Chain A
């Protein structure tokens, strides 16, 4: 903020076609001094080219170890409205569907106790209420839970699981991703609210290999829907598609396994060679559908760079049927947590632990058998471990 309280740099970001977050802060600032000082301190950051937020202190609600991120500014005398600027994570409903009534109730609570600013949604998936003070937290918690909402995860815990739209609006989905997400969220309430892990653990559920939740890149446990039988073909619809597209070039030639052929009247698929990448189905959703024997591939280890480099999840179970009450996946996750808990160092993600200890330790302790689907290729180096049982 300049001395006269003007924000010329941010004002410039009110212009332009893309929706403006500055307009949103200004709307909230009409009602909230917190939002007003957020605008002012943000202008200051734009001028100074550094952040003005300090490390968070530990704040929260009684009985929970997470769900609220403590945040304080480094210039509280100049910007008293944001001396405290804590974030409350509200666990989003699976699939991010809402009714207007439910959202208005939440917004009313937030106007009463907070800055009136929110992220729909945060990166992990929570509905993020941005900017409140320590003494308001219990009241926010009481009023949101009374309306049926709960906090999401933060810290070294199970972070709020998230999923794609799945069966609710997608014909590609091979699993009930929303029901799986909701069920796991409820089975693991304790792990979500009371951080007791070496580090964070994320679960994301995508109904097919298009992976609309970016589970493979972003989740320690990536649950990806797939099928085991043949792609269903409607040959009449394939013919219809051929009027608008060159099926050979756009579909068959782009198939990574070259398992398809098109002679102008019939599309043939060698399903044994198909790896279910989704390209052909994406191109011709009216003509091609996933098979009927559906389930999920379970993958482990995805994460962003901190600490030892970014990882993408890899296959640990090629195929798992996932049906209510989803006890099989719950059981596997609990076994993985037990192994991680026993061996993991502080701030070591489960993927990094596999890197450090090897797949064998994880597989043995979870009872998963080694299968070729787990690797791109077997090892080429001869530095092979043998256990005494192996050489009996």
Chain B
């Protein structure tokens, strides 16, 4: 290239002030209250009396450049060229009051789902899966699509006792940090890594590989310049594979999905809490993962029927007790449900006061 542009580095992200709609720039820090108008529309009112309308739609997270251009076209036509993404992969537009309904009509006509606000199911935070990741135990986008095809009405119209945050991580690395979600869909491996003796000496540093195992399941095998796996100690976290590509543990039969429930990050009413194991394993059954879809739907429906207003899934379960959660959902309780890792003892019941079911 003749006129190569000058190399620029370390400029960081552009300052957000370049992108704010004028009504937001003017009322920054002055917002007084908001109203949820419907599942896809909010109104914020400022101390100055100014009003801001927000319309929200779901995206599939993995999108094409043309999809982004389509969003830009809505923004140009209805939202002064301004738009934003939420932390849960939704898009938001900021139409003037008289443009709210025309925008929603246009979005719906083009097949977009308007919603995601308030008590229901918002978009599913998720990871890359088979699209792009080297350690997944399942796909991400496909599972989310299958689950939300079934539950999309909770995004657009139906309400639940409180918010139900669903998130998916395709392995224990949890790029999606799903461990504090109302329903966490988590890809898991169930078979120990297989040592690739042909490559390990060249590909991996043996001491760091041994040190990477949280349960001490990897021992040196100096004669072969390799390692041995104490298989009974392995809980398939995959940390060794991250450190050493010669220890693959992906397996079409061994891999699948587990479901954790009852976590949240909001501090409202009660402190944040981690999701806990409900279903230890469901098979990978692409393209629609019917077992996973049915399991998630069933848990949502039992919760919807039994929980009190404003009660998040974890708060509901704590009120009724885990023993009743398993009874109501009919989910079998197994060895896998009883913790045997770092914080296990905290989860044992140190009192004879419990419910029979």
Contact = CB atoms under 8 A, between A and B. Distances in A.
Interface of A: 9-10, 12-13, 15-25, 27-28, 35, 38, 42, 45-46, 48-56, 62-64, 71, 85, 87, 91-104, 107-108, 110-111, 116-125, 130-131, 142-143, 145-146, 148-150, 160, 162, 164-165, 167-171, 173, 176, 178, 182, 185-186, 189-190, 192-193, 209-218, 250, 254-256, 277-279, 282-283, 285-286, 289, 304-310, 312, 345-347
Interface stretch (B220-228, B283-291, B320-328): B283-291
B310 A100 contact: no
A14 B107 CA distance: 18
B175 interface: yes
A217 B31 contact: no
Given A18-B60, A18-B152, A46 B269 contact: no
The 4 A-B pairs with the shortest beta carbon distances in the complex, nearest first, are A16-B149, A100-B72, A304-B174, A209-B267
Interface string B253-296: 10100000001011111101010000000001011100000000
Most B-side CB within 10 Å, residue of A122, A173, A210, A214: A214
Contacts of B64: 24-25, 27-28, 35, 116-118
A196 to B, nearest CB: 15
Contacts of A18: 58, 60, 113, 144-145, 148-149, 152
Q: From DSSP, what is the main secondary structure of chain B's interface residues?
A: loop
B341 interface: yes
B24 interface: yes
A170 to B, nearest CB: 6
A178 to B, nearest CB: 5
B284 A49 contact: yes
Contacts of B129: 51
13 contacts: A10-B142, A13-B145, A18-B149, A42-B131, A98-B85, A119-B128, A121-B89, A131-B132, A189-B11, A215-B265, A285-B34, A305-B179, A307-B239
A91 B13 contact: yes
Contact of B84 (A98, A308, A310): A98
Nearest to B10: A189
A97 B265 contact: no
B14 A143 contact: no
A99 B19 contact: yes
A248 B179 CA distance: 33
A101 B52 CA distance: 22
A54 B173 contact: no
A277 B267 contact: yes
Contacts of B31: 167, 169-171
Interface of B: 4-5, 7-16, 18-21, 24, 28-29, 31-35, 44, 52, 54, 58-69, 71-73, 75-76, 81-87, 89, 91, 112-113, 125, 127-136, 139, 141-142, 144-146, 148-149, 152, 169, 172-177, 179-180, 208, 211-212, 214, 237, 239, 242-243, 245, 250-253, 255, 263, 265-270, 272, 274, 284, 286-288, 309-310, 341-343
A222 B58 CA distance: 27
A254 B4 CA distance: 63
A143 to B, nearest CB: 7
A364 to B, nearest CB: 25
A28 B65 contact: yes
A105 B152 CA distance: 32
Contacts of A51: 129-130, 133-136, 250
Contacts of B176: 123
Contacts of A107: 65, 68-69
B89 A120 contact: yes
A277 B68 contact: no
